[in-house]
């Protein structure tokens, strides 16, 4: 019975480890005509504090400008919303003393130690300003570092991945 518990802990730890890695997903409305969109305006921008809000805004604006889109204060073709949140997560680290029963040995114990970490998630939504239909969504989730510069680099890298295959963009 103890070996089943140990294997269950190993499986849970492996799943949590995979969940803690950076993920970037995008989806879009395949019926939307992205070629018609040339301007955008900001809707909601929320990222925990004004420093991070400005960082998120700068990274997104850089991507949109590189693709030929122009920001206008009001009345853009697209409304961009970006919401960033962080949450506390916990995983379990297992250390072994001896071979343990899982490998046929008569001795050994496993020690499970909880590990806390923070995960940052950024959701970017783009809506057609006339129809209010969601036309594109990008989501990234990554383990947050205690070092701000590392988090900035992760933000840039993850948003670059989001916009890499954005539909309808010309090669400007």
The DSSP secondary structure of 3-57, one letter per residue, reads HHHHHHHHHHHHHHHHHHS-EEEEEE-TTS-GGG--EEEEEEEE-SSHHHHHHHH
What was the pLDDT predicted at 97?
Answer: 66
Task: Identify which has the larger pLDDT, 134 or 169.
Answer: 134
Q: Say if pTM beats, i.e. exceeds, 0.85.
A: no
Residues 87-113: tens digit of each pLDDT: 565 556 666 666 555 555 555 666 676
Q: Give the pLDDT score at 9.
A: 39
Could you give the percent of the chain with pLDDT greater than 70? 65
Domain positions in the chain are 21-90+117-163
What is 21-90+117-163's CATH topology?
Double Stranded RNA Binding Domain (3.30.160)
pLDDT digits over 155-168, tens only? 899 999 999 988 86
Q: Phi/psi at 53 (nearest 5 deg)? A: -60, -45
Q: Which residue has the tokens 């073709």?
A: 77
Note the pLDDT of residue 6. Answer: 38
Per-residue confidence band for 129, with pLDDT thresholds at 50, 70 and 90: very high
At 150, the pLDDT band (50, 70, 90 cuts) reads: confident
């Amino acid at each position: 019975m103890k070996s089943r518990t140990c294997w269950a802990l190993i499986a849970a730890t492996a799943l949590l480890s995979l969940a803690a890695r950076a993920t970037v997903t995008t989806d879009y409305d395949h019926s939307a005509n992205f070629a018609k969109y040339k301007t955008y305006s900001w809707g909601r921008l929320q990222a925990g504090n004004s420093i991070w809000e400005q960082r998120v805004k700068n990274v997104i604006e850089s991507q949109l400008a590189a693709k030929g889109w122009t920001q206008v204060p009001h009345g853009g073709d697209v409304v961009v919303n970006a919401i960033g949140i962080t949450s506390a997560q916990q995983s379990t680290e297992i250390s072994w003393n001896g071979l343990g029963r899982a490998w046929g040995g008569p001795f050994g114990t496993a020690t499970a130690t909880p590990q806390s970490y923070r995960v940052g998630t950024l959701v970017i939504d783009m809506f057609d300003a006339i129809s209010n239909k969601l036309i594109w969504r990008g989501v990234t989730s990554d383990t947050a570092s205690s070092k701000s510069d590392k988090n900035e680099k992760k933000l840039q890298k993850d948003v670059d991945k989001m916009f890499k295959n954005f539909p309808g963009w010309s090669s400007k």
